[in-house]
Amino acid sequence: MDKDRPDEMVVLLVQSILCGYRLIDTAYSYGTEKMVGTALKLLFDAGIPRDAIFVQTKYYPVMPYSGKSVRKQFEESMENLGLDYLDAYLIHQPVPRYSELEYTERNISVWKEMERLVEEGKVRHIGVSNFLERHILQIAENCSIAPEINQLEINPQFQQRGLAEFCKKRGISVQSWGPLTVTEDKVKTVLQMIADKYGVSWVQVALKWNIQSGNIPVCFSKNIRHLAENMALDFELSDKDMEAVRLCNTADAHRKTWWYPRQQMY
Ligand SMILES: NC(=O)c1ccc[n+]([C@@H]2O[C@H](COP(=O)([O-])OP(=O)(O)OC[C@H]3O[C@@H](n4cnc5c(N)ncnc54)[C@H](OP(=O)(O)O)[C@@H]3O)[C@@H](O)[C@H]2O)c1
């Protein structure tokens, strides 16, 4: 969401719920929680029940990164959102920014505070985002509530299949962020060829492939026509076409990002 155009974004959010979307994904670090709160108030005032919308936000691990800091940031997020409970609360990334060397103990203490939020009835589900296997195991070995969600970048050119399978085997729902982030022309060409067979767009193929792979795509658009298109997924990709998308997993573009090597390192 574009935090510089709040009114427009509130309207889009309301429209997206009317279009059928039910999960709102935000984060403390996006600076969009207040906008989400405004849209939610409009929707609830119009009679949409609270339990019809799944609202999730994320704790952003900057130093000081501790149980105390998660409580403080959580309370601020809840005030921004105007909610008395949250459907899901995620740790945004496994390593606190600017402090790569001291994250394991801190992840565990943050997680224990998130467990307390569940015990107090303030949060329904707790999870993580951008966590690799080892980061999940560090938490799982030291917790009473296991992570229920891992939100990961997953799209046809960057599939993270091993990690997604690991999560599913442990009963962790996999949400895919950046599901439409396809920058490589060769991948777009394959998606477009498949799309032509079904009379849909390459974007719809990318979303359907993600869903048929067992993931929950979390996509974004500022365009109401695109929002509607992204919900129109009433077709089934054949095994052959699923395999063709599977072969697009080059990860080339991602190795060049600033965050990918860091994520692998810590
Ligand atoms: N956990 C994390 O670390 C993390 C990181 C990044 C994002 N996220 C979450 O994931 C969400 C989505 O990821 P994302 O923002 O990276 O990108 P995305 O959903 O993969 O792609 C968004 C882009 O796709 C375009 N688009 C959407 N529908 C389209 C359509 N039908 N036809 C053509 N273009 C279309 C949008 O342009 P238009 O506006 O023109 O439609 C926008 O530029 C975010 O909103 C955020 O909630 C999480």
What domain range includes position 129?
6-265
Q: What pLDDT score does 86 carry?
A: 98
Q: Give me ligand 1 centre to Cα 109, in Å.
A: 31
Look at residue 44 and tell me if it is in a domain.
Answer: yes
Residue-wise pLDDT tens digits, 18-66? 999 999 999 999 999 999 999 999 999 999 999 999 999 999 987 666 6
Look at the chain and report how many structural domains it folds into.
1
Please name the residue whose Cα sits nearest to atom 44 of ligand 1.
220
Among 177, 201, 211, residue to substitute to test ligand 1 (most atoms within 8 Å of Cβ): 177
pLDDT score of 69: 85
Looking at residue 198, its pLDDT comes to 98
CA of 105 to the centre of ligand 1 (A): 33
> Looking at ligand 1, which atom is closest to the CA of residue 230?
31
Confidence at residue 103, expressed as pLDDT on a 0 to 100 scale: 81
Per the annotation, the verdict on 65 as an active-site residue is no
* pLDDT value for 54: 98
> Does residue 126 form part of some domain?
yes
Predicted confidence (pLDDT) at residue 113 exceeds the cutoff of 80: yes
Q: Look at residue 241 in the predicted model and tell me its pLDDT.
A: 98
Domain membership of residue 111 (yes or no) is yes
Section 142-156 average pLDDT: 96
Greatest Cα pair distance in the chain: 54
68 Cα: distance to centroid of ligand 1 (angstroms)? 32
Q: How many CB atoms lie within 10 A of CB 44?
A: 15
Residue 82 pLDDT > 80: yes
Inform me whether the pLDDT recorded for 2 exceeds 70.
no
Residue 155 pairs in a beta bridge with: 158
Any idea what the CATH number is for the domain that residue 151 is in?
3.20.20.100
CA 241, CA 225: separation in Å to the nearest integer? 26
User: Which residues fall within 8 angstroms of residue 214, CB to CB, at 6 or more apart?
Assistant: 164, 168, 174
Q: What is the pLDDT of residue 105?
A: 85
Instruction: Give the chain's length.
Output: 266
Pick the catalytic residue: 30, 198, 260, 266? 30
Indicate whether 145 belongs to any domain.
yes
Residue 1 within a domain:
no
pTM for this structure? 0.94
Residue identifier of the C-alpha nearest atom 32 of ligand 1: 226
pLDDT at residue 181 in the model: 93
**pLDDT tens-digit map of 202-261:** 999 999 999 999 999 999 999 999 999 999 999 999 999 999 999 999 876 667 776 777
- The pLDDT tens digits for 120-139 are 999 999 999 999 999 999 99
Name residues contacting ligand 1 (CB within 6 A): 25, 129-130, 151, 177-181, 203, 218-223, 226, 229-230
Measured in Å, residue 167 CA sits from the centre of ligand 1 at: 23
Tokens of 123: 């949060």
Q: Which amino acid is at 44?
A: F
In a domain, 28, yes or no: yes
pLDDT of residue 95: 79
Whether 48 is covered by a domain: the verdict is: yes
Could you tell me whether strands 173-177 and 86-91 are parallel, antiparallel, or unpaired per DSSP bridges?
A: unpaired
When mean pLDDT is compared across 48-52, 150-154, 155-159, 253-257, the lowest value belongs to 253-257
